[in-house]
Amino acid sequence: MKRGICVMANVLILGANGKIAQLAEQQLLSETKHHLTLFLRNASRLKVTDPSRETVIEGDATNQQALIKALDGIDIVYANLSGKNIEDQAKAVVGAIDRTNIQRLIWISTLGIYDEVPGKFGQWNHQQLDGGYLQTYAEAAKVIEGSDLDYTIIRPAWLSNKDIVSYETTQKGEPFKGTEVSRKSIADFVVKLINDPSQEIDHSVGVNQPNTDGDRPSWY
Ligand SMILES: NC(=O)c1ccc[n+]([C@@H]2O[C@H](COP(=O)([O-])OP(=O)(O)OC[C@H]3O[C@@H](n4cnc5c(N)ncnc54)[C@H](OP(=O)(O)O)[C@@H]3O)[C@@H](O)[C@H]2O)c1
């Protein structure tokens, strides 16, 4: 993968029907020249708006063979996945990319995987997300961090559908800031990294809306 600004890349989006993924796709289509390969289950759900720049592949992210096929000609992988088997998905994705010359992976995770959320909000976050979710997402992140890939793990705060792009970041090892962030902001951050893949290499980045500190997100 070449360093620096990337004007036209072939981007593979895993979980392309995900809510953040759809926002990132809209932004990538309107603001960039990248080609998007959209990998998802039940592909008929996805509406293609520009067939010259979008290729749809139906597949499951635990299926390494399907992933290897989808990686043909790809420069950057953006994984917007979820679910109880997220660790298996991480293993399949890393295993597939390892069989190619591709280096760059953007991986959406969650706040709290390093017990990095301080104070009362951190306690509340544990109450909401313990019992499987945080643990499996933490294991998946370990798979990504243990790989040789140029990865960026993104740890969003609690997600809103607000029509706002406003965010700040924290790094692994720093206390998480704020309580919430819009999906639009995460999509914007992903687009930034795709446009300049040399940013945030091998970093795990917390992303929150500034000035949203509190005991819980505003809608709780
Ligand atoms: N909600 C919050 O406040 C919050 C906060 C921080 C982080 N997060 C995490 O951020 C991530 C992205 O958020 P989002 O709102 O974009 O989530 P989302 O809409 O649920 O998107 C996740 C996508 O992953 C896909 N997926 C799951 N398993 C798959 C598999 N085996 N193969 C292929 N695709 C698979 C799902 O596909 P299907 O449609 O086929 O099921 C879904 O489209 C999620 O992991 C979420 O847990 C959430």
In angstroms, what is the span from residue 80 Cα to ligand 1's centroid?
A: 6
Calculate the alpha carbon distances from 181 to 144, 167, 173, 189, 192 in Å. 23, 7, 20, 12, 16
**pLDDT given for residue 5 in this prediction:** 80
HSE-CB of 149 using CA atoms within 13 angstroms: 32
Q: Which residue minimizes the CA distance to atom 41 of ligand 1?
A: 41
Rounded average pLDDT over 122-140: 96
Rounded average pLDDT over 209-214: 98
In angstroms, what is the span from residue 109 Cα to ligand 1's centroid?
A: 9
Rounded average pLDDT over 168-197: 98
* Torsion of Cα atoms, 41 then 43 then 49 then 50, to 10°: 90
- Atom of ligand 1 lying closest to residue 159 CA: 3
Strands of the sheet containing 168-171, edge to edge, are 54-58, 35-40, 10-14, 76-79, 104-108, 150-156, 203-208, 168-171
Whether the pLDDT of residue 207 is over 60: the answer is: yes
128 CB within 6 A, ligand 1: no
What is the pLDDT confidence band of residue 147, given thresholds at 50, 70 and 90? Answer: very high
Domain ranges for the chain: 10-208
In angstroms, what is the span from residue 214 Cα to ligand 1's centroid?
A: 25
Q: 10-208 has which CATH code? A: 3.40.50.720
With a CB cutoff of 8 Å and minimum separation 6, the contacts of 13 are: 21, 24, 25, 36, 37, 38, 39, 78, 80
- Atom of ligand 1 lying closest to residue 17 CA: 43
208 CB within 6 A, ligand 1: no
Task: Spell out a b/e string for 22-48, using b for 16 or more CB atoms within 10 Å of the CB, else e.
Answer: bbbbebbbeebebbbbbbbeeeeebee
Q: Report the residue among 64, 81, 155, 160 best suited for mutation to probe ligand 1: largest number of ligand atoms under 8 A from its CB.
A: 81
What whole-number percentage of the chain has pLDDT above 70? Answer: 99
**pLDDT given for residue 183 in this prediction:** 98
Whether the pLDDT of residue 178 is over 60: the answer is: yes
161 CB within 6 A, ligand 1: no
36-83: pLDDT as tens digits: 999 999 999 999 999 999 999 999 999 999 999 999 999 999 999 999
Rounded average pLDDT over 152-181: 98
Query: What's the mean per-residue pLDDT of the chain?
Result: 97
93 CB within 6 A, ligand 1: no
**pLDDT given for residue 54 in this prediction:** 98
In angstroms, what is the span from residue 42 Cα to ligand 1's centroid?
A: 14
What whole-number percentage of the chain has pLDDT above 90? Answer: 97
3-state secondary structure labels for all residues of 108-137: ECCCCCCCCCCHHHHHHHHHHHCCCHHHHH
Q: Which of 188, 207, 167 is nearest to 26 (CA)?
A: 188
Residue 16 CA to residue 179 CA, distance in Å, equals: 26
For 10, the 3-state DSSP assignment is strand
In angstroms, what is the span from residue 84 Cα to ligand 1's centroid?
A: 10
**pLDDT given for residue 3 in this prediction:** 58
Whether the pLDDT of residue 4 is over 90: the answer is: no
Whether the pLDDT of residue 2 is over 70: the answer is: no
